[in-house]
């Protein structure tokens, strides 16, 4: 997107894209097949034991017959956008220039649909590459309101998912996320502010606040992603479309004892959206 033949100055283009100017000169290198294999295994280990840091993931990889070093694992975890979810000084990938908003869910009784929405991003392995998946979820019903996949961690696909959810379902009272740079960016928070939505952000290490989406990732990966080696992004989108339809309409949530659609539409007492 930061193309040298564009009419706008590079500095202004970087401001509009909310990226450092130094990053605009970087040309990404392809990920090796060996690294892709390690990333798939790291993803499984992280999903099973999300509290493991890079040092203990190295040990787990060794147990699986993959000898590697901590620096390599840390680099791959950064590329995947994952980190150990335990309290610590660096548990969120914050952007130093982005505003951090207060946490609004403490002692809040979430008792209806469209009261609190939440979002997160996860890594999706493919047969030859990987994607990132983001969802917008209603915390009361666990309904997936919208989702997007992308081949980069750029904020635009998160904004697209947010705008679709608002277009289809209206607005929540509160939108809660972690302190990741996608969610603290001006592009994302501006949409929330323009619709009068209160912004809530988890404190560092407060991973339990996003536990509903974390549980969704486990379901998506074990019931869909790991069973299908997607060959391309279009194939991934098509297959995930079927899964999320099943998740919302057919799959009864273990705690709610009903499907997310049933809980959501009963709460708002409106006919089902087309």
Series of mean pLDDT values for 10-residue runs along the chain (274 residues) = 56 64 56 84 84 86 87 87 59 56 90 95 88 96 97 92 97 93 92 97 61 88 91 95 96 86 89 53
Question: What is the predicted pLDDT for the residue at 215?
Answer: 87
Q: Report d(CA 243, CA 47) in Å as an integer.
A: 19
Max CA-CA distance within the chain?
Answer: 56
Question: What is the predicted pLDDT for the residue at 49?
Answer: 80
Kindly list the domain boundaries of the chain, sorted by start residue.
1-29, 31-84, 116-268
Beta bridge partners of 262: none
CATH number attached to the domain at 116-268: 3.30.420.10
Which strands sit side by side in the sheet containing 198-201, from one edge to the other? 144-150, 129-138, 116-126, 174-177, 198-201
Question: What is the predicted pLDDT for the residue at 29?
Answer: 62
Helical (H) or strand (E) element with 131: strand 129-138
Radius of gyration of the chain (CA): 19
Question: What is the predicted pLDDT for the residue at 214?
Answer: 84
- Report pTM: 0.76
């Amino acid at each position: 997107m930061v193309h040298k033949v564009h009419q706008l100055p590079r500095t202004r283009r970087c401001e509009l894209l909310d990226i450092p100017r130094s990053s605009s000169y970087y040309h990404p290198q392809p990920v090796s097949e060996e690294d892709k294999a390690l990333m798939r295994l790291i993803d499984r280990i992280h999903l099973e034991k999300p509290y493991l840091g890079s040092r203990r993931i190295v040990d787990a990889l060794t147990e699986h017959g993959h000898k590697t070093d901590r620096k390599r694992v840390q680099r791959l975890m950064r590329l995947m956008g994952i980190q150990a979810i335990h309290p610590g000084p660096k548990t969120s990938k914050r952007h130093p220039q982005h505003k951090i908003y207060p946490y609004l869910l403490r002692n809040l009784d979430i008792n209806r649909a469209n009261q609190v929405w939440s979002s997160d991003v996860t890594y999706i392995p493919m047969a030859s590459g990987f994607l990132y998946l983001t969802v917008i979820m209603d915390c009361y019903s666990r309904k997936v309101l919208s989702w997007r996949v992308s081949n980069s961690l750029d904020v635009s696909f998160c904004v697209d998912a947010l705008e679709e959810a608002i277009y289809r379902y209206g607005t929540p009272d509160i939108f809660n996320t972690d302190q990741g740079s996608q969610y603290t960016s001006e592009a994302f928070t501006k949409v929330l502010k323009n619709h009068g939505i209160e912004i809530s952000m988890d404190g560092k290490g407060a991973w339990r606040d996003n536990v509903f989406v974390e549980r969704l990732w486990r379901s998506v990966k074990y019931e869909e992603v790991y069973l299908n080696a997607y060959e391309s992004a279009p194939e991934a989108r098509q297959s995930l479309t079927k899964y999320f339809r099943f998740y919302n309409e057919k799959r009864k949530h273990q705690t709610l004892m009903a499907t997310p659609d049933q809980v959501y539409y009963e709460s708002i007492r409106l006919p089902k959206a087309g």
